[in-house]
Amino acid sequence: MLGTAAGGGVPQWNCACGPCTAVRAGELPARTQDALAVSGNGVDWWLVNASPDIGAQLAATPALAPGPGPRDTPVRGVLFTDAELDHTLGLAVLRGASGLRVHGPAAVLHALEPTRAVLAAYGEWSWRPVAAGQVLALTGGLEVTAFPVSGKRPRYAAEPPAAEHWVVAYRFRDPATGGVLLYAPCLASWPAGFDELVAEADVVLLDGTFYAPSEMGAATGRPSGQAAMGHLPIADSLPELRGHPATRRIYTHLNNTNPVLDPASPEHARITEAGVEVVADGAVIDL
């Protein structure tokens, strides 16, 4: 888990909310913006989302260090869950690669066309849309399947040529071990069929952006536009997760205003009582 925070990280540069202030005071650990690295063999690695923090995240992860050649990298490509800036701006940081393979919903790749044009000047990049339900074999042995979960279009993006889904969850399966990971950092609701995906997973990494529906407005003192941001609050998803005690459940994509960032908070106690976790940047999950 390269990063576990929502857009802006914790602390966010322009925020003096409680958690941001506590991090600056050394009372809580800092968190970088949400991203994942997955591998089936420990040699070939795939990034899932590429935040503006990706350079520091790669440098902090020994398994992703370059080598053995002076410009070799174990990073084979990137998969995008959506086109939000906090998940895609890191592509510019990765321009030093001679070229990577990039997968994501067709609408996401369409939104990234300006970035794609820039990267074309730096290397041979390949761009492949991922269709809903399609099983994609990744270098290194993993299989990944995309499941649409939201139609939330980023503010900057125009509508694609055809109506497409904008946000997906990814199901990763290791054929060698049978291990299944479900990654859904952006979840606008609890869609039909999602219970089945959670039930079959060994581990689920779920959208934990906000704890309560009015959290951001309460923390910042401004009218909240939180409802339009496309993130199901923990208060609504936690009852659903209680029905899946056999699955390891972890909240990620935590907003800087979220009280579960503080292990001493009542909100953190509620998710812990339900058997759900919050883990730090750099956490490693083996399946």
What is the edge-to-edge ordering of all strands in the sheet holding 248-252? 135-137, 143-150, 167-173, 180-184, 203-207, 248-252, 276-278
The answer to whether the beta carbons of residues 220 and 257 sit under 8 Å apart is yes
Average pLDDT over residues 73-96: 96
Q: How far is CA 222 from CA 1, 65, 218, 219, in A?
A: 32, 42, 7, 8
Q: What is the pTM of this model?
A: 0.95
Residue 138 DSSP code: P
In this predicted model, what pLDDT tens digit does every residue of 153-201 receive, in sequence order? 999 998 776 656 899 999 999 999 999 999 999 999 999 999 999 999 9
Query: Shortest CA distance to 185 belongs to which of 150, 135, 134, 228?
Result: 150
Q: Does residue 226 have a pLDDT over 70?
A: no
Q: Does residue 46 have a pLDDT over 70?
A: yes
pLDDT, position 127: 97
- For tokens 């299989």, name the residue: 143
Q: How confident is the model at residue 215 (pLDDT cuts 50, 70, 90)?
A: confident
CATH 3.60.15.10 boundaries in the chain: 1-27+185-280, 35-168
Residue 238 DSSP code: H
Distance between CA atoms of residues 216 and 258, nearest Å? 8
pLDDT, position 217: 61
Q: What CATH topology corresponds to 1-27+185-280?
A: Metallo-beta-lactamase; Chain A (3.60.15)
Q: Does residue 223 have a pLDDT over 90?
A: no
Query: Shortest CA distance to 184 belongs to which of 146, 130, 211?
Result: 146
In this predicted model, what pLDDT tens digit does every residue of 189-214 receive, in sequence order? 999 999 999 999 999 999 999 999 87
The one-letter code for the residue type at 258 is N
**Omega before residue 68 within 30° of 0, cis:** yes
The answer to whether the beta carbons of residues 278 and 271 sit under 8 Å apart is yes
Secondary structure class of 165 (helix, strand, coil): coil
Average pLDDT over residues 12-26: 95
Who contacts 267 (Cβ-Cβ below 8 Å, separation ≥6)? 211, 234, 258, 259, 260
Which overall architecture, per CATH, does domain 35-168 show? 4-Layer Sandwich (3.60)
Across the chain, where does the E strand assignment appear?
36-38, 45-48, 75-79, 101-104, 126-129, 135-137, 143-150, 167-173, 180-184, 203-207, 248-252, 276-278
Average pLDDT over residues 135-147: 97
pLDDT, position 214: 79
Distance between CA atoms of residues 19 and 199, nearest Å? 32
180-184/167-173 β-pairing: antiparallel
The answer to whether the beta carbons of residues 228 and 270 sit under 8 Å apart is no
